[in-house]
Amino acid sequence: MKFDSPAKTNPIDRLKVVGKPTPRIDGPLKTTGTAPYAYERHDVAAGQAYGYVLGAGIAKGRIKSMNLAHANQASGVIGVLSTLDHEPVPLGPSNTANLFGGAEVQHYHQAIALVVAETFEQARAAAHLILVDYEREKGHFDLAELAPAAPLAKDGKGKPKVENFGDFDSAFASAPVSIDAVYTTPDETHAMMEPHATVAAWDGDNVTVWTSNQMIQWGKRDLAKALGIPRENVRLDSPFIGGGFGGKLFIRSDLVVAALAARRFHRPVKVTLQRPLIMNNTTHRPATIQRIQLGAERDGRLTAISHESTSGNLPGGKPESAVSQTQLFYAGANRRTAMRLAELDLPEGNAMRAPGEAPGLMALEIAMDELADKLGMDPVDLRIVNDTQVDPMNPDRPYSYRDLVGCLRRGAEVFGWHERSAQPGTNRQGRWLIGHGMAAGFRNNILTKSAARVRLAADGRVTVETDMTDIGTGSYTIIAQTAAETMGVPLEQVSVELGDSDFPISAGSGGQWGAVNSTAGVYAACVKLREMVAQKLGANGEDIVFADGRVEVDGRSFALGDAASGGELVAEDAIEYGDVDETHQQSTFAAHFVEVAVDAFTGETHLKRMLAVCSAGRILNPVSARSQVIGAMTMGAGAALSEELAVDKRFGFFVNHDLAGYEVPVHADIPHQEVIFLDETDPWSSPMKAKGVGELGLCGVGAAIANAVYNATGVRIRDYPLTLDKYLDRLPKVT
């Protein structure tokens, strides 16, 4: 199905199933522990052996030798896979760090060996018997040290990537009111509950991997390249994923070494990365140093906007695109954005939930708060004054639908923003300093081709097959809702099968593009199935009505399954987009409001209330959408107050590489959270008229918390997370 113009009225608009608050259809499997996650696929291959990954003990250098004798002789050991016995595996287009092979060490905990044994305990014990002799080299581990000389990041053509519009320098110099400040965000890790895990088994020249992966076809492509075999010889299966947040977009070392070991030792092999290796061996959100300059008229209208960000990565890696939203978010005639990239010898920096916007808005939205403070203007009003309905860098390109102002006004009303004390540090309740902060949120809506296969059985049951994944986002449910709505059957009459690379290629899960694209692909396949049903029943497709498990045409009524009485009907199609996202800027918007209490004596910060108002097109399932947003708000609270990968700048590794030292929020840290979705549709997005929402809930939260802490204390903190060492000595004197 080609989608190249705004969606008109279609079967989804009936909203009998789509748009209804629907509990997850996979919920019973998860609550009973019967959902099959990767490491628990004991049933898929007989005789599974256990692999244990040994990570490098240096951050940069070479392996001079590796003594495997004691490990090979240990009880239960089947064999040891050594990096010295392999050339570095070829990498896919999105991987940067070496996954396995060769003597060079690029980062700490790089996979250098896999011990395979009959039990996990035997493999782990034997791994500790491997003796490795390293030749350590001097590495670069300090972003702040390299930032002043960091070169500009390059675009796809190898040219320095600086975006200019208008004359920023002149406009900033002549602005009546301006700010110029530097903000920093730390390295962060995904900290998903389910580790990276894989079971691999070979059948002749074909390999099947049951793994935890967000993007099935990317994984199939990259594993085939790593193993040097045709893509059709690889099958990935990931029906359930226990969280990814971008850390499972691309294949990691568990997948590669499991497949290599299974081929070498002629046994199915299962591998999970232990938590320290998840943090040092896989990917993370890179730290940033961001400079923001804003110039405005005295009425708050922005005349000059500059945002420069510096981040680090391994050679060949990409920068954290923290300036991306600043190109689009606010009006302003003179603009400049630029990114700098330092070469660091830390683990690979790559996508983490809302890459770019999450750290970028942590800085930009504090800067907007500072500007409002300098102007003596309400922060909500400042953002409303600077709203735009067109792409500021290309004014001839309108937004498909943008209601940031609606988010701001609704949020201010519901939160009771007018009761906020505008003077920082003046609202006290006993020993607590009370503060209120807000920030706006922005995340683009990304369109990508997505396909599905739909089957109709004689009993009227509809089965959907697509390689779309469910990373805890509710994909099973919204896909079932889409099929039920389009085919006119109850939700209970739909089965959904996901995550198998033998199924049609979907959008996959990532970048909040999964929901809108995968459901649109299912819709396209269902429309084709409707046409087949009409043909079987001898009906005119335009006059036919699908409802309540029946087909009505020309005064006649049939059970839907009658169309398949002679055999199952199977339809397959994909949603393919024209230039709708080029002619119209497609984005999602939010307003975040937060109340905090800061202990006047200790500086301890407690969150008291959190509100998010979201503009994201049609909401396909308010229950799962709310879950996505409150999860993202919680993630934003962690980023603001506690989450930071501490870098050992002597030896180049993340010190707090477990969930005891890397502090994510727990239930006691999170207060009442309220989520409001504006009632809207965006016909430019897809036939579903929906947009993504899962990452929008994170964008802006950190700044809202930082702004609330400033309102409570009068202390402006520009370095995340907002830990006590950064402001305790600046708190107001206790009287």
The predicted-structure confidence for 72-121, as pLDDT tens digits, reads as follows 999 999 999 999 999 999 999 999 999 999 999 999 999 999 999 999 99
Q: Would the pTM count as exceeding 0.85?
A: yes
What sign does the dihedral 143-145-146-149 (CA atoms) show? positive
C-beta of residue 614 within 8 angstroms of C-beta of residue 696: yes
Amino acid at 476: Y
For position 541, what pLDDT does the model report? Answer: 59
**Domain positions in the chain:** 2-35+447-581, 38-138+194-280, 396-442+586-730
Q: Is 272 exposed, middle or buried (CB count within 10 Å of its CB: 0-12, 13-18, 19+)?
A: buried
For position 142, what pLDDT does the model report? Answer: 98
For position 662, what pLDDT does the model report? Answer: 98
- Which residue is associated with the tokens 């050679």? 315
pLDDT digits (tens, 9 = 90+) for 347-396: 999 999 999 999 999 999 999 999 999 999 999 999 999 999 999 999 99
CA–CA distances in Å: residue 363 to residues 185, 188, 296: 8, 16, 18
Which stretches of the chain score pLDDT less than 70?
Answer: 541-542
The dotted CATH code for 38-138+194-280 is 3.30.365.10
For position 639, what pLDDT does the model report? Answer: 98
C-beta of residue 284 within 8 angstroms of C-beta of residue 349: yes
Asked whether this chain's domains 2-35+447-581 and 396-442+586-730 adopt the same fold, the reply is: yes
Angle between helices 701-713 and 357-375 (to 10 degrees): 30
Amino acid at 354: A
- The whole-angstrom separation of Cα 712 and Cα 606 is 11
The dotted CATH code for 396-442+586-730 is 3.30.365.10
- Best CA proximity match to 700, nearest among 282, 369, 414, 302: 369
Pairing of strands 104-105, 450-456: unpaired
C-beta of residue 703 within 8 angstroms of C-beta of residue 292: no
User: Where do runs of H (alpha helix) occur along 416-505?
Assistant: 475-487
- The whole-angstrom separation of Cα 464 and Cα 570 is 10
What are 423's two structure tokens? 């003077």
For position 181, what pLDDT does the model report? Answer: 98
- The whole-angstrom separation of Cα 563 and Cα 418 is 60
Residue 695 bears catalytic tag: yes
Q: By three-state DSSP, how is residue 461 classified?
A: coil
Q: Which residues pair with 164 in a beta bridge?
A: 336
Cis status, amide bond into 721, omega within 30 of 0: yes
Residue 452: HSE in the Cβ half-sphere, 13 Å Cα cutoff: 34
For position 734, what pLDDT does the model report? Answer: 84
Q: By three-state DSSP, how is residue 566 classified?
A: coil
User: Catalytic: which of 194, 308, 357, 695?
Assistant: 695
For position 159, what pLDDT does the model report? Answer: 84
Angle between helices 701-713 and 622-641 (to 10 degrees): 50
CATH classification of 2-35+447-581, choosing from 2.40.37.10, 3.10.180.10, 3.30.365.10, 1.10.3720.10? 3.30.365.10
C-beta of residue 690 within 8 angstroms of C-beta of residue 618: yes
CA–CA distances in Å: residue 145 to residues 289, 312, 343, 451, 516: 11, 11, 11, 47, 42
Task: Supply angle C-alpha 171, 173, 179, rounded to 5.
Answer: 95
For position 161, what pLDDT does the model report? Answer: 86
